């Protein structure tokens, strides 16, 4: 569908211009139905050959959160404790098992199964895209995100993914942000600094 129409300023503000990285959360729960809605939006984001290698593990209870805390950098502990939900954004190394379901060419699965560097590159690139789509989708339904890479991923993998099929990429605290805990906004690079037109 080509709309040739810009979304309105309020939507742009919610997704980007006024959206902030949450550094604390108010005491307001995130219903399971909202997590499903976020996933249903995020999964529509593009991935190469529709591979969809991102997996999302929702730590939605004090018990599951307690298993994560020892892996966190000290500066990430407090905000993670108060976040209603923490998401482990993980990558499924065997994503190609699903190719017969998600791609229209029957040989697609074999293409990845027989080429480890191709499978790994595809998983890494598209797995991270999935995390980004998830954050934008979460903002679209009114949630705030606190992404974190300050974590010992080897510890997370050992604790949550002992069979080695999934690997943790980064974390996202999810909930309703406590604006009093925000850091000052840092500047973005200008078009001239970040973009080249050839
Ligand atoms: C992948 C990723 C990892 C991050 N890791 C951490 C982290 O470990 N701890 C932290 O406090 N902030 C972390 N951040 C937050 C960034 O510093 C923040 O998003 C950035 O400064 C922009 O902030 P703003 O959205 O409020 O402008 C991370 C962000 C991303 C996207």
Structural domain of residue 150, as residue ranges? 24-176
8 in a structural domain: no
What pLDDT score does 69 carry? 98
For 40, the enclosing helix (H) or strand (E) is helix 32-42
pLDDT of residue 3: 87
The string of pLDDT tens digits covering residues 57-92 is 999 998 999 999 999 999 999 999 999 999 999 999
Which residue CA neighbors atom 13 of ligand 1 most closely?
148
- Secondary structure class of 21 (helix, strand, coil): strand
**Average model confidence (pLDDT) across the chain:** 97
Q: Judge whether 19 lies within some domain.
A: no
What pLDDT is attached to residue 2? 83
**What is the distance in A from the centroid of ligand 1 to the CA of 96?**
30
CATH number of the domain that 33 lies in? 3.40.109.10
Taking each helix axis from N to C end, the angle separating 116-140 and 32-42, rounded to the nearest 10 degrees, works out to 130
Total domains present in the chain: 1
Q: How many angstroms separate the alpha carbon of residue 188 from the centre of ligand 1? A: 13
| Interior/surface letters 104-134, b for 16+ CB within 10 angstroms, e for the rest | eeeebbebbeeeeeebeebbeebbbbbbebb
Residue 90 within any structural domain of the chain: yes
Q: Does any domain span residue 46? A: yes
Q: What is the pLDDT of residues 119-153, one digit of tens each?
A: 999 999 999 999 999 999 999 999 999 999 999 99
Overall average pLDDT of the 160-175 stretch: 98
* 18 token code pair: 């006024």
Residue 82 placed within a domain: yes
What pLDDT score does 194 carry?
98
Can you give the pLDDT at residue 1? 78
By alpha-carbon position, which residue is closest to atom 6 of ligand 1? 148
Q: Report if residue 58 sits inside a domain.
A: yes
Q: Give residue 146 CA to ligand 1 midpoint distance, Å.
A: 7
Instruction: Name the residue with the closest Cα to ligand 1, atom 23.
Output: 21
In a domain, 7, yes or no: no
Is there a domain that residue 112 lies in?
A: yes
Lining ligand 1 with CB less than 6 A are 20-21, 75-76, 147-150, 170, 185-186
Residue keyed to tokens 């290698």: 53
**Which of 189, 198, 168 has the alpha carbon at shortest distance from 55?**
168
Structure tokens at 26: 């108010």
Q: Is pLDDT above 90 for 37?
A: yes
Mutate to test the pocket of ligand 1, among 14, 21, 87, 168 (most ligand atoms within 8 A of CB): 21
**Structure confidence at residue 96 (pLDDT):** 98
Averaged pLDDT, 162-175:
98
Q: Can you tell me the mean pLDDT for 10-17?
A: 98
């Amino acid at each position: 569908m080509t709309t040739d129409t810009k979304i309105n300023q309020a939507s742009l503000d919610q997704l980007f211009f006024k959206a902030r990285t949450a550094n604390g959360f108010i005491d307001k729960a995130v219903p399971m139905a909202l997590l499903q809605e976020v996933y249903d939006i995020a999964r529509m984001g593009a991935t190469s050959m529709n591979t969809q290698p991102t997996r999302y593990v929702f730590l939605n209870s004090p018990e599951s959160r307690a298993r994560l805390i020892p892996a966190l950098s000290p500066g990430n502990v407090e905000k993670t404790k108060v976040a209603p939900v923490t998401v482990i954004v993980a990558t499924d190394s065997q994503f190609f098992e699903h190719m017969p379901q998600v791609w229209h060419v029957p040989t697609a699965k074999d293409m990845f199964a027989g080429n480890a560097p191709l499978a790994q590159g595809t998983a890494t690139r598209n797995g991270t895209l999935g995390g980004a789509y998830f954050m934008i989708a979460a903002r679209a339904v009114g949630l705030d995100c606190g992404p974190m890479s300050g974590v010992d991923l080897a510890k997370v993998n050992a604790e949550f993914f002992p069979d080695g099929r999934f690997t943790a990429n980064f974390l996202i605290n999810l909930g309703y942000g406590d604006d009093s805990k925000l850091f000052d906004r840092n500047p973005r690079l200008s078009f001239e600094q970040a973009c080249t037109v050839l």
